[in-house]
Amino acid sequence: MSFSSLPTEIQSLLFLTFLVIYLVTLLGNSLIILVTLADPMLHSPMYFFLRNLSFLEIGFNLVIVPKMLGTLIAQDTTISFLGCATQMYFFFFFGVSECSLLATMAYDRYVAICSPLHYPVIMSPRARAKLAVISWFPGIPVATVQTTWLFSFPFCGSNKVNHFFCDSPPVLRLVCADTALFEIYAIIGTILFVMIPCLLILCSYTCIAAAILKIPSAKGKHKAFSTCSSHLLVVSLFYVSLSLIYFRPKSNNSPESKKVLSLSYTVVTPMLNPIIYSLRNNEVKNALSRTFHKALGLRNCIP
């Protein structure tokens, strides 16, 4: 695993940095889950999907960061064959599910802004539950097929994964067999489960932008845009970092730069998501305030 070549002082600094980010990520996303469950004002479809996103971000973080922290603090740069396969499986599962969920959240905003009168019917509790299941499900077959197929190849030579987690490209470099068919499958999978959700998001926001422009008042335009600005920012962060890693020409994509860019969507973005939704959303800020005041009131009432 990576980081072993760095000086001890740098590794200690990285450990403290990633530990703080990890704790902020867990706390922030856990708060989003608790507040959207506890506050009746946040029982709308938008916050239902936000709660699912927070679950995903916590899972995504748990797959990558604890092992990385262990590597930095204990200087244990090894990972077992099964451990590497397990990490890759859940990395694919949460990654693909997040792409699908972000597309579902864009569709939710599209219905809310473009068909507000039909929104309660289209996004009924049963419908939103189905959409959540549909969003989570694609991660299972993709992770199962890709991980099982990749780890069925023979490995020879160096067993060093030149990355800070078991991603497909660095593990694939250790295979001593023809991987052409697997690479074709990986490209098809990327198009189906990463690019198609991205296109759906773009289509949704194109329709949303057209609908917002038709609103006569500036106040109405601002209110409509504010309901989807947080999601748009989260989508941008996720897909820009993903594109810089997996869609750059190989000549411009050194292993070291890929490691740095990978940190953005595996470590940093899960921390930023709850911050973005909290700071840019008055309903979430008000709900957090109500929840804290209620908690403090209960505490003061305890004899």
Return the residue matching tokens 């197929």: 149
So what's the pLDDT on residue 298? 56
For the chain, the structural domain boundaries read: 8-288
* Calpha distance 296→155 (Å, rounded): 57
pLDDT in tens, 57-109: 999 999 999 999 988 887 777 889 999 999 999 999 999 999 999 999 999 99
DSSP string, 213-241: HT-SSHHHHHHHHHHHHHHHHHHHHHHHH
Question: Does the pLDDT at position 160 exceed 90?
Answer: no
For residue 175, the SS3 value is strand
- Percent helix, strand, coil in the chain, to 5, is 80, 0, 20
CATH number, domain 8-288:
1.20.1070.10
So what's the pLDDT on residue 202? 94
239 neighbors 198 (Cβ within 8 angstroms): yes
Return the residue matching tokens 């864009």: 106
* Calpha distance 180→300 (Å, rounded): 65
Q: How confident is the model at residue 118 (pLDDT cuts 50, 70, 90)?
A: very high
So what's the pLDDT on residue 133? 96
Task: Write down the mean pLDDT value for the chain.
Answer: 87
Question: Does the pLDDT at position 302 exceed 60?
Answer: no
Residue predicted with more confidence, 245 or 45: 45
Q: What is the CA radius of gyration of the chain?
A: 21
Question: Does the pLDDT at position 266 exceed 90?
Answer: no
pLDDT in tens, 241-263: 887 776 666 555 666 777 777 88
* Calpha distance 96→236 (Å, rounded): 16
% of the chain exceeding 70 in pLDDT: 91
pLDDT in tens, 131-140: 999 999 999 9
pLDDT in tens, 176-201: 999 999 999 998 988 898 899 999 99
At position 96, the amino acid (one-letter code) is: V
